[in-house]
């Protein structure tokens, strides 16, 4: 059924090779709750952690749980999970016993003045703790999580959502002002909750569309920290034998958790490979960051389109189509050189190389031409012909495919524009 909904069921089972205490600690951190509630999950009963999900959301939820070291199932909502064999005759827990990882606590019930005062103290303490967390750098992780949730939201739909929220808040404000003035407005939870939700959506959209986040810099202290966290997450989730796209997803999460933009990081590193190599970051480039994405794009691996932005995808496609050793300057020199039909003579080639300040050794003219156009020759775009005259060796060039040469030139010019956009000095 197209509208089939699913639920996530947990029976207290953990992944092989993990310790139960470590799993409990991971779940407590994931659900942002105390040890007592987490211990309740391991009572041996079948517990529905979340229901009413699409199949895709259910699998995503399960991936989060399993990353923490626990095992769970995604089953149709109409299916009633049987109790675990350890549970005896106990009945399953109530649905959503724990809630989703970013759940909010239920609103406190009305009580006497002493309870209210106690709640206010607890709330004040919680605010102080949150302030400390922000100072410790958790704000970047929180914004990264928000950005992830909004990443696939259609901007028009997001705008409608904000408009709807604002409309509801406006109606509530008007009603309160008519009935009880400013005092009633201060007590209106709908107003403040709506304003908070709208602000989160707006902030996330600004982050998503405004491109405010920067790429991860090519600095050893930064990319070494990234690699360390990436490897830790891979080992922790037992992803050592996972597919390429899974590992790309892990890299993306770590980059964004560090407060950097993943797509901009990919492009910045792609266009700055020489700097990466000089800074000692080539292992990160080849095994974690850029080359896994290049492989996934070239092989058109399933799911890669969901992990990188469309423009990033296009840049990697074009980059993969450039023959090894071919650059824009050598093509422009070929085009600027006078030709007889498709043949470019030795002396004309040397003169064009000098006019364009090509970095070649002119004390060995034949070798200078061979080195300058070796990439084009190997790509099958031109052919270097060597000839002898009075014991002197000369090199002429034949253009084999002018249209293919123009096509490669267009791609190189496109990449040059993208380099200026994403990796300008």
Tally the domains of the chain. 4
pLDDT of residue 411: 92
End of a domain among 30, 54, 87? 87
Q: Hey, which bits of 15-107 come out as E strands?
A: 47-53, 70-76
Instruction: Give the span between the Cα atoms of 93 and 75, in whole angstroms.
Output: 16
Torsion angle, CA of 49/50/51/53, rounded to 10 degrees?
-140
Radius of gyration of the chain measured on its C-alpha atoms: 30
pLDDT of residue 392: 79
* Nearest CA among 94, 95, 92, 103 for reference residue 11: 92
Of the residues 280, 297, 320, the one at which a domain ends = 320
Percent of residues, the chain, with pLDDT higher than 90: 23
CATH of the domain at 344: 1.10.10
pLDDT recorded at residue 111: 44
SS (H, E, C) 405-422: HHHHHHHHHHHHHHHHHH
Query: For residues 370 and 221, which has the higher predicted lDDT (pLDDT)?
Result: 221
Indicate if the pLDDT at residue 94 is higher than 50: no
pLDDT on residue 131: 46
Beta bridge partners of 343: 340, 398
pLDDT of residue 88: 37
Which residue segment(s) compose the domain that 384 sits in? 328-403
Q: Determine the average pLDDT of the residues in 142-166.
A: 50
pLDDT at residue number 264? 95
Compute the distance between CA of residue 91 and CA of residue 83 in angstroms, rounded to an integer.
7
Other C-beta atoms closer than 10 Å to the C-beta of 116 total 12
| Residue pLDDT, tens place only, 33-50 | 778 788 888 877 788 888
Question: Which residue would you say has higher pLDDT here, 100 or 278?
Answer: 278
Provide the pLDDT for residue 100: 42
- Asked whether the predicted pLDDT for residue 85 surpasses 70, the reply is no
Q: Which of 11-20, 165-174, 243-252 has the least mean pLDDT?
A: 165-174
**Taking the complete model, does pTM exceed 0.75, yes or no?**
no
Last residue of a domain, one of 158, 189, 210: 210
Same domain, 230 and 303: yes
The more confidently predicted of residues 157 and 232 is: 232
* Residue 185 neighbours by CB under 8 Å, 6+ apart: 173, 176, 177, 191
- The confidence score (pLDDT) of residue 371 equals 83
Inform me whether the pLDDT recorded for 425 exceeds 90: no
Minimal CA–CA distance to 415: which of 343, 344, 320? 320
Pair (228, 315) in one structural domain: yes
């Amino acid at each position: 059924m197209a509208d089939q909904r699913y639920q996530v069921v947990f029976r207290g089972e953990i992944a092989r090779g993990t310790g139960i205490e470590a799993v409990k600690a991971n779940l407590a951190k994931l659900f942002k709750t105390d040890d007592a509630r987490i211990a309740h999950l391991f009572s041996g009963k079948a517990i529905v952690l979340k229901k009413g999900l699409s199949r895709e959301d259910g699998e995503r939820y399960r991936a989060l749980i399993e990353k923490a070291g626990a095992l769970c199932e995604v089953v149709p909502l109409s299916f009633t999970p049987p109790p675990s064999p350890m549970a005896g005759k106990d009945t399953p827990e109530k649905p959503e016993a724990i809630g989703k990882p970013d759940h909010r606590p239920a609103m406190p019930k009305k009580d006497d003045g002493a309870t209210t005062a106690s709640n206010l103290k607890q709330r004040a303490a919680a605010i102080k703790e949150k302030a400390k967390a922000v100072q410790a750098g958790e704000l970047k992780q929180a914004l990264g999580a928000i950005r992830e949730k909004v990443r696939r939201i259609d901007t028009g739909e997001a705008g409608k959502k904000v408009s709807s929220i604002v409309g509801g808040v406006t109606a509530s404000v008007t009603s309160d002002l008519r009935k009880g003035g400013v005092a009633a407005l201060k007590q209106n939870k709908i107003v403040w909750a709506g304003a908070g939700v709208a602000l989160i959506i707006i902030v996330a959209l600004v982050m998503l569309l405004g491109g405010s986040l920067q790429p991860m810099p090519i600095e050893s202290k930064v990319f070494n920290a990234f690699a360390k966290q990436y490897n830790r997450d891979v080992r922790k989730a037992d992803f050592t034998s996972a597919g390429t796209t899974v590992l790309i997803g892990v890299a993306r999460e770590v980059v964004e958790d560090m407060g950097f933009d993943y797509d901009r990081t990919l492009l910045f590193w792609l266009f700055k490979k020489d700097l990466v190599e000089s800074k000692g970051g080539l292992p990160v480039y080849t095994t974690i960051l850029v080359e896994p994405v290049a492989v996934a794009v070239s092989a058109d691996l399933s799911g890669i389109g969901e992990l990188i932005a469309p423009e990033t995808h296009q840049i990697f496609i074009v980059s993969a189509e450039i023959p090894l050793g071919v650059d824009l300057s050598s093509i422009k020199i070929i085009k600027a050189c006078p030709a007889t039909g498709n043949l470019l003579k030795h002396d004309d080639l040397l003169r064009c190389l000098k006019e364009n300040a090509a970095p070649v050794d002119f004390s060995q003219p034949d070798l200078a031409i061979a080195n300058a156009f070796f990439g084009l020759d190997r790509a099958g775009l031109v052919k270097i012909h060597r000839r002898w005259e009075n014991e002197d060796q000369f090199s002429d060039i034949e253009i084999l495919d002018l249209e293919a040469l123009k096509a490669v030139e267009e791609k190189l010019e496109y990449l040059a524009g993208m380099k200026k956009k994403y990796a300008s000095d």
